[in-house]
């Protein structure tokens, strides 16, 4: 038993670091591309037909970046897809969830003072809640309110409140906030796997076949990508919350989780506003954060 316990701890250690590394890569690329898109100069008539351009300096070199709303006249053969950062983060996170909160559920998932349920029920609720969260969120985005940002935002925040109340009523405080993070990460990776990448593949296939792509695919993909960008700061806090009993140890952990979402979204909106050159000077001295 001792050997198995040691192996389990080393497995958790390895998976946790894999999760951290892939999350850094995913969140970093998300931050970069949203900042790039918001900061593009779109007031220039580019001979290439691109929607906008940006000059950047990094690592001793200069980069000239152009964005095409559809694609250039000739589709490049070495197109780079940004998806494995997301997939690897979710898969490693789910593996960590299984190792810590399912296999070690008697210690970390179930709290009899919160809900005296058997471990197998807790595991079923854990997995089912992630699937339910994605289905509910996706249904909202595809509903008639999907094109109304304010109503969609209210609906999504309502879903977050309900999930927070549910988790804090069935799991330990530590597991509840961690599951809020897993729920959020599932929405984000679901966006990539079920919406963003499939839509981009449809556009690429149309271009290769000589058809004019429907711009609606790009609009929807950008909407989901923007959602992911706004959810990054809350998910980071929630994934680290198990280190801070002040966050998960009280009777109002659900409210703290909801406030984290409001705070994180507000901070991201401020950064996005800055990257869009609203309220900051422009010109040769402008710097990225």
Specify if 288 maps to a domain: no
- The domain in which residue 212 lies consists of 2-275
**Which element (helix H / strand E) includes 62?**
strand 61-67
Query: What confidence score (pLDDT) does residue 285 get?
Result: 52
Name 15's bridge partners.
none
Query: What confidence score (pLDDT) does residue 289 get?
Result: 55
Give the span between the Cα atoms of 159 and 161, in whole angstroms.
Answer: 5
Name 66's bridge partners.
53
Name 114's bridge partners.
none
Specify if 188 maps to a domain: yes
Specify if 152 maps to a domain: yes
Specify if 287 maps to a domain: no
Averages of pLDDT over runs of 10 residues in the chain (289 residues) are 76 94 94 89 81 90 87 75 95 96 94 96 98 97 91 95 97 96 97 96 86 88 93 94 86 93 94 74 53
Say how many domains are in the chain. Answer: 1
Name 62's bridge partners.
57
Query: What confidence score (pLDDT) does residue 77 get?
Result: 76
Query: What confidence score (pLDDT) does residue 279 get?
Result: 47
Specify if 285 maps to a domain: no
Specify if 280 maps to a domain: no
Contact (CB, 8 A) for 163 and 180: yes
Neighbouring CB atoms inside 10 A of 78's CB total 4
SS3 of 166-215: HHHHHCCHHHHHHHHHHHHHHHHHHHHHHHHHHHHHHHHHHHHCCCCCCH
Give the span between the Cα atoms of 134 and 149, in whole angstroms.
Answer: 18
Query: What confidence score (pLDDT) does residue 284 get?
Result: 52
Specify if 255 maps to a domain: yes
Neighbouring CB atoms inside 10 A of 221's CB total 20
Specify if 286 maps to a domain: no
């Amino acid at each position: 038993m001792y050997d198995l316990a040691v192996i389990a701890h080393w497995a958790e250690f390895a998976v946790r670091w894999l999760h951290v590394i892939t999350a850094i890569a995913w969140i970093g690329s998300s931050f970069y591309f949203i900042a790039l898109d918001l900061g593009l100069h779109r007031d220039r008539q580019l001979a290439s037909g691109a929607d906008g351009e940006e000059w950047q300096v990094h690592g001793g070199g200069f980069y000239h970046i152009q964005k095409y709303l559809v694609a250039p006249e000739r589709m490049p053969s070495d197109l780079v897809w940004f998806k494995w950062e997301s997939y690897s983060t979710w898969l490693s996170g789910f593996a960590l969830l299984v190792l810590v909160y399912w296999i070690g559920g008697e210690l970390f998932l179930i709290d009899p003072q919160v809900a005296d349920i058997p471990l197998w029920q807790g595991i079923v609720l854990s997995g089912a809640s992630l699937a339910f969260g994605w289905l509910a969120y996706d249904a909202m985005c595809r509903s008639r309110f999907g094109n109304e940002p304010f109503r969609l935002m209210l609906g999504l925040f309502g879903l977050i409140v309900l999930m927070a109340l549910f988790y804090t009523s069935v799991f330990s405080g530590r597991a509840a906030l961690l599951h809020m993070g897993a729920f959020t990460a599932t929405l984000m990776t679901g966006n990539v796997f079920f919406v963003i990448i499939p839509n981009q593949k449809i556009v690429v296939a149309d271009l290769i076949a000589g058809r004019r792509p429907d711009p609606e695919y790009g609009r929807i993909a950008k909407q989901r990508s923007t959602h992911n960008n706004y959810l990054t700061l809350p998910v980071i806090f929630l994934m680290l919350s198990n280190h801070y009993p002040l966050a998960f140890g009280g009777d109002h952990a659900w409210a703290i989780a909801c406030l984290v979402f409001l705070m994180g979204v507000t901070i991201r909106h401020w950064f996005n506003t800055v990257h869009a050159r609203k309220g900051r000077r422009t010109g040769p001295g402008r710097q990225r954060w």
